[in-house]
Amino acid sequence: MIAFAGLLFGVVLGIVVHPTVPLWLEPYLPLAVVAAMDAVFGGLRATLDRIFDEKVFVVSFLSNTLVAALIVFFGDQLGVGGQLSTAIVVVLGIRIFSNVAAIRRHVFRA
Amino acid sequence: MRPRGWKAQLPVAALAALLGFGLVVQVRTTQGGSALGTARADDLLRIIDDLTARSDRLRQETDDLRAARARLTTSGDKAAAAIDEAGKRADTLAILAGTVGTHGPGIRAVVDDPGHVLHADFLVDVIQELRDAGAEAMMINGHRVGAPTYVVDDVVTRVIDGAPLTQPYTITAIGDESTLASALAIPRGIVDTAQDAGAKITVNPAADLVIDALRPLSAPRYARPAQVG
Spell out the SS3 assignment of chain A: CHHHHHHHHHHHHHHHHCCCCCHHHCCCHHHHHHHHHHHHHHHHHHHHCCCCCHHHHHHHHHHHHHHHHHHHHHHHHHCCHHHHHHHHHHHHHHHHHHHHHHHHHHHHCC
Sign of CA dihedral A56, A61, A63, A68: positive
At A63 the pLDDT is: 92
pLDDT digits (tens, 9 = 90+) for B162-204: 888 888 889 999 999 888 888 888 888 888 888 888 888 888 8
The Cα–Cα gap between B210 and B214 comes to: 12
Q: Are B13 and A6 in contact (CB under 8 A)?
A: yes
Residue of A nearest to B3 (CA): A1
Residues of chain A with C-beta less than 8 angstroms from the C-beta of B19: 7, 10, 33, 36-37, 40, 61
Is B15 in CB contact (< 8 Å) with chain A? yes
Residues A6, B42: C-beta atoms closer than 8 Å? no
User: Would the pLDDT of B2 be above 50?
Assistant: no
At B38 the pLDDT is: 63
The Cα–Cα gap between A21 and A5 comes to: 24
Residues of chain B with C-beta less than 8 angstroms from the C-beta of A89: none
At B55 the pLDDT is: 95
User: Would the pLDDT of A64 be above 80?
Assistant: yes
Q: Which residues 6+ apart lie within 8 Å of B211 measured at CB?
A: B101, B102, B103, B137, B138, B139, B144, B172, B174
Q: Which of B173, B176, B154, B155 is nearest to B163 (CA)?
A: B154
pLDDT digits (tens, 9 = 90+) for B73-88: 888 888 888 898 898 8
Look up the pTM and report it: 0.46
